[in-house]
Amino acid sequence: MVTRLIFIVLPLAILAGGLGSTARAAQLGPYVGGSYGITERDFGIEPFDDFFLNGFFPGTGFIVESHSSSLDTKDRGYMALIGYRLTAHLAIEGMFVDLGEMTYRAATVGSFDDSDPFALDTKLVGKLSGIGLHVLGIWPINYRWEIYARGGVQFTSPKLGGRIDNVPLDFRPDSATDLVGGVGIAMSMLEVYGLRLEYMRVFDAGESGTAESDTDFLSLGFIVAF
């Protein structure tokens, strides 16, 4: 995802730099906005398989004969924010971010000591969301375009639940404080409106006991200044 962002943002920045020579910042003061895009979590399937094959199933006395599984780490996410442009080169933002879901599915065949083999269908869904406080460093390129980098913290609320056949599974992980970084390019319109293309990463998002992982968010956003 990072590579894709570079190939998208870099040509836009070069184009923006050629559209004019007079740099001018967007309007100072408060603004609101939101974005929508693609999320992806950097997490492998092995910890889930290990939990069920070497922990949960042996603990219940279930003898596994075959097991197949899959993990979908991509989803859609969104962000709602309120910000304040302090200077031409500095802004602060508070936001709510939904980073989508990660879904694990498995089909397992096995038996108990006194039973015939039978199949179990397993599904686990991990969700991430949180509120964040970020600082933006901004470089105005010309009248309409600017590029920026963000850094800050996010208070992440992970959720993990699912089922084995019709038996519900519900884990209650603790909230976590995670670091966030990102880069983007913005275009202003009619002085008070703006479009953004941004890549953001939440580092080690979530709680260590429940699928903690780096999480990427590539989004297209819209802001309105007051």
The whole domain housing 118 covers 2-225
Quick check: 12 pLDDT over 80?
Answer: no
Residues 6+ apart with CB under 8 A from 60: none
pTM of the model: 0.83
| Strand partners for 101 | 127
Tell me what pLDDT residue 24 has. 57
As a whole number of angstroms, the distance between CA 29 and CA 148 comes to: 17
Q: What is the pLDDT of residues 169-226, one digit of tens each?
A: 888 778 889 999 999 999 998 888 999 999 999 999 887 666 788 999 999 999 999 8
Tell me what pLDDT residue 18 has. 44
Q: What is the pLDDT of residues 24-51, one digit of tens each?
A: 557 889 999 999 999 999 999 998 999 8
Residues 6+ apart with CB under 8 A from 128: 41, 98, 99, 100, 156, 157, 158, 159, 202, 205, 206, 215
Other CB atoms within 10 Å distance of the CB of residue 37: 19
Residue 144 Rama label (left phi>0; alpha psi -120 to 50; beta): alpha
Strands 90-111 and 118-140, by their bridges, are antiparallel
Question: How many domains is the chain built from?
Answer: 1
Question: Which domain CATH number covers 17?
Answer: 2.40.160.20
